[in-house]
Every structure is written in C-alpha cells, then in structure tokens.
Amino acid sequence: MFDYIKGGIAELNPAYVVIDAHGVGYCIHITLQTYTQLNGAAEAKLYVYEAIREDAHLLFGFMNPAERQLFLLLISVSGIGANTARMIMSSYSVQEIQEIISGGNDRALNAIKGIGNKTAQRIIVDLKDKILKISGTSSPAGTLLYANSDTREEAVSALVMLGFSSAASQKVVDQLFKTDPSLKVEQVIKQALKLL
C-alpha cells in the first residue's frame, strides 16, 4: 500500500521513528543501522513495508529499496518473522549480510540473538542463490546489493543502447557502484563512458 513515507522526524529512538507527514504521525519500526543514519536529521524518507496481522498493522522503514528488498528476502524464509529480520539487519549492514549469506557463513548468523544453527543454515540455503541473482554475479566474492538495483539496470541498458557490450557495461557499472553506491543514473553513464 505504501512505497515510502517522507516528512519531519517527530520522535526517534533505536526501535522506531515517528514521521510527521502532513499532520499524520506514522510510527515506523527501524533497524539500528537506520537509527544511526537518522540520528540528528530533521527529516526522513523511509521506504516502508506494511505487515498486516490480526492484532496489528505495523510499518517497517528502510533507508533505500535495497534494504527493504533484503528484509523481504529474510522474511520469506520459514521461521523468520519481521522482528527477527530486523534483528539481523540491526546486527550487520546490507553488504555484510549479503556476504555472510553468499559465503555460507552460518557462524556469523549464529552470533545474532535468537538465531540457532538450523535457522542460520535455512537462511543460507534459501537465500544464497537469490542474493547472487540480485547482485548479478555468479560468485560470492565482492557481491553488492546496490542502493538501487534499478539504477544499475538502467545504466547498463543505456550503455548497451549506446553500442557497448552488455558484459563490459555491467563490469564498469559494478566498479563505479563499488566506489560510490549513491551514484545517480546520469553520473554512472557519464563516468562509464570515460572508462569504456
């Protein structure tokens, strides 16, 4: 129902933020990573996931679509609820979680409160291929969930339309995103043209 909520920060604590969007206060559950990024900010734009249960309608907020995408992957695993997924994402960054899963590092997942051996292994088995597919690479090393995978795809397709090969375009775009994940499409294309 909601894609994102943008407005002034009325209240902020490590578990949730209240965003005042045109006079309506939305209580949005956040990770510790998001709390750190919002600390000291007057306004916020959070990409949200709405969890509808019998007893409550809850909003979970993320700084960018890649974080939300990872959260959705985590809750798709049997036995992982929204709060457990939030705990995982509070313990590690998006990139670290991806590296843990793609590298099969169940010990790192075990270190998180509430994650046992079986659950850690289930997360890795269920998500390893999906994580690698999202990142557009077949090897675990150096994979990244970009701040916006749409931006990456858009940049690659633009370069292909300009006559560059798909493989070369993907390689250059990936290098640019590793250097600066917040690049916009136009910036990526301009920089890629100098490298291709």
Q: What is the DSSP string of 1-29?
A: --SEEEEEEEEE-SSEEEEEETTEEEEEE
Is this model's pTM higher than 0.75 or not? no
Give the alpha-carbon dihedral of 125, 129, 132, 134, to 10 degrees: -120
Q: Which fold has domain 65-135?
A: DNA polymerase; domain 1 (1.10.150)
The CATH code that applies to domain 4-62 is: 2.40.50.140
- Alpha-carbon gap, residue 147 to 177, rounded angstroms: 9
Q: Is 48 helix (H, G, I), strand (E, B) or coil?
A: strand
Give the model confidence (pLDDT) of 150-196 as tens digits. Answer: 677 788 888 888 888 888 888 888 888 777 877 888 888 888 888 88
76 contact partners, CB below 8 Å, separation of at least 6: 126, 127
pLDDT at 2 (0 to 100): 86
Q: Domain residue spans in the chain? A: 4-62, 65-135, 149-195
The phi, psi pair for 51, rounded to 5°, reads -100, 115
Residue 147 has what pLDDT? Answer: 47
Domain 149-195 class? mainly alpha
